[in-house]
Amino acid sequence: MFQGSSIDGAIVGQVHDIAKSYGKVLVCLDSNHTHEHVLEELEAYAPLVSKDSYCVVFDTVIDDRPESAFTDRPWGKGNNAKTAVHEYLRRLADEGRTAVDGTALNLVKDNALENKISITVAPDGFLYRI
């Protein structure tokens, strides 16, 4: 475990160093749920996801809840993990990204998985690497 912000360059570097020693990497993002923070996390950590694995972004459900549900938080409708996921996937489609294995980073929403489990806090948050 590392103590610090998940988007701090030193923390990102430590995680990348450890991930190098694994053949299969699953990334789970669940910290500050503002759009900008999650977008920075996706830029930093999604490239670590190995083929046939996932980047799971939690609490995307925030965008589906009423504005009154998050009055004491810096995130809410229009500024949350789901909006960041949509922006990141748009960037992937428009600009592309390269994974740490040197190949194209192709992530797709796996809505079949979320439909299978029926109840989730991560709608649109299961990003499968093909």
| Residue-level pLDDT at 119 | 84
| Residue-level pLDDT at 82 | 98
**Vertex 114, ends 111 and 91: CA angle to 5°?**
45
Percent of the chain having pLDDT more than 90?
85
Q: Tokens 């912000």 belong to which residue?
A: 5
Q: Other CB atoms closer than 10 Å to residue 70's CB: what's the count? A: 16
Instruction: Name the phi and psi angles at 87, rounded to 5.
Output: -65, -45
- Rounded to two decimals, what is the model's pTM? 0.94
In this predicted structure, the answer to whether residue 118 has a pLDDT above a threshold of 80 is no
Task: Give mean pLDDT, residues 5-26.
Answer: 97
| Residue-level pLDDT at 67 | 84
Q: Tokens 């930093």 belong to which residue?
A: 44
Percent of the chain having pLDDT more than 70?
100
Q: What is the pLDDT of residues 58-89, one digit of tens each?
A: 999 999 898 888 888 999 999 999 999 999 99
What average pLDDT does the structure give for the chain?
A: 95
Q: What is the pLDDT of residues 5-14, one digit of tens each?
A: 999 999 999 9
In this predicted structure, the answer to whether residue 130 has a pLDDT above a threshold of 90 is yes
Q: Other CB atoms closer than 10 Å to residue 30's CB: what's the count? A: 16
**Residue 66, beta-bridge partner list:** none
Q: How far apart are CA 44 and CA 38, in angstroms?
A: 10
